[in-house]
Amino acid sequence: MTQPGVVPRPVHLELGTEAPFVVGESATVVVDPRPDLIAHGVLAADLLGRVTDQAIEVRYTDDSRGARDVIRLRLAAPDETDLLPGDEAYTIVATPSRIEAVARTSAGLTRAVVTLRQLLGQGSDGVWRVPTVVVRDAPRFTWRGLSVDVARHFLSVGDLKVVVGLMAHYKLNVLHLHLTDDQGWRLHVPSRPHLARKSSGTAVGGDRGGCYTPTDFADLVQYADARGITVVPEIDVPGHVNAATHAYGELTPDGVPTDEYTGIEVGFSRLYADLPATGEFLRAVFADVAAMTPGPYVHIGGDEVLTMEPDEYATLVGEAAAAVRAAGKKVVGWQEIASAPLEPGTVVQYWDTRVDPEPFVAAARAGASILMSPASKVYLDMKYDERTALGLEWAGHVEVRDAYEWEPTTLVEGLPAESVVGVEAAVWTETIRDLDGLTTMLLPRLAAVAEVAWTAPERRDWEDFRTRVAEHGPFWDHLGVRWYASGQVAWPSRTRGTRTA
């Protein structure tokens, strides 16, 4: 029997032989009458209804036993033992008359609903069905992320909500927003209003910029949270700061604001540890950003500071990290921060496969948590191949198979496997100007990275994956998003993916 095209591949999926569950006019989502579960019921009905193009009713009741055509979502009782370990674990049992999804947490229910959505299939008669099936599933890593650069080219909240929807569909759970860089500052910070007023209007190539108000940011955070995704804001220091020094001249040695910058070079801008304004800036900005961030993490950047001595770099990383901790958040930074003294539990994000990894490995051995984002595997702004119009090539070409066939715990020699907390793809926007360009670079590679982050290596197989992911092309078409029809996958003939990214 053909296995359904579920991505990421679950821990256990066993198809039955009975007739499938029909998602017709009488299908109803049922949840307990609790505010958090009601929200999940509404979301489930919406997600399933968008696929089937029909309205699905939601009912709130403590007891639906015996009812037919029911999709029951519930949290597990404390004494239930059928779930795998982990907060996001879930089970699904689908029979001809009923589907029951059980999870330990609301995040687990969200993952279960996504699996149900992917199990849906439409027959030649136009009827949507879910096969009789038993699924037991849980993720390998707790951090499964996507970093999106909105500093070089701005993306609206509406565009980012599309990205969040794609992330949720592949069970990713962290949206890391690169909010500041040399080209623009994208978040209004109450204590430093000139950052938005003076430095948000620019982008690479002179394109139009933009900025998120606190209300915009809260809207995005809430939308992501409803889909089981945590937003991690990044304020990149002590380099990549031209937008900051353009807005506030006191951050420069001569007190003169720097000029706007719309190019794509890196490493030329910096903060100065001996200026009184620098520490004040770091404390104020990170306090404001932390106050707008319900999630536990704030990213301090720390990458590509090419014109600073190591001691000054360590001082500024320490000040930024202290400001984040003082605001009650946990610190995340790019791999370069491993050269500075770090508190245990700091999340260090590996990206540059070209440099000596020893400081990074030493930080892991000293208690840092490691987030794997190797550019040669998961930088999704790299070209698919030499014919790709969008993207860069400094880390090589990244085809779908490249994004799939790698192992996070063994990629860096000497890295303690237990230090790896997750995997995060990244997409930088030097050449990506809009949502169409972004989704073309994300899909189908985002699905490949998601499976690396979710599924144990012994259950991952390229030939199996390329068969399953091929079934997702029609779904992307249904969503109306642009995607790249990689020649490495045998897509159904009816799909509309572009072959020119």
Catalytic residue set: 304
* Dist CA 249 CA 305 (whole Å): 19
Please name the residue that has the structure tokens 């996958």.
489
Residue 493: CB atoms within 10 Å: 6
Q: How far is CA 491 from CA 118, 360, 472, 482, 488, in A?
A: 17, 40, 9, 15, 9
The structure tokens listed for 424 are 């995060």
* Dist CA 34 CA 165 (whole Å): 24
- Torsion from C-alpha of 284, 289, 294, 297, nearest 10 degrees: -90
Q: Is 65 exposed, middle or buried (0-12, 13-18, 19+ CB in 10 A)?
A: exposed
Adjacent-strand bridge partners of 369: 347
Torsion 221-149-174-323 (CA) sign: negative
- Torsion from C-alpha of 213, 216, 219, 225, nearest 10 degrees: -80
* Dist CA 400 CA 404 (whole Å): 6
* Dist CA 430 CA 409 (whole Å): 30
User: Which among 233, 297, 309 has a CA at the least distance from the CA of 270?
Assistant: 309
Residue 59: CB atoms within 10 Å: 15
Adjacent-strand bridge partners of 70: 28, 98
Q: How far is CA 168 from CA 161, 162, 225, 256, 334, in A?
A: 10, 10, 10, 45, 24
* Dist CA 265 CA 267 (whole Å): 7
Q: What angle do CA 492, 494, 500 make, to 5 degrees?
A: 80
* Dist CA 50 CA 317 (whole Å): 46
Q: Where are the alpha helices (DSSP H) in 352-411?
A: 358-365, 375-378, 400-404
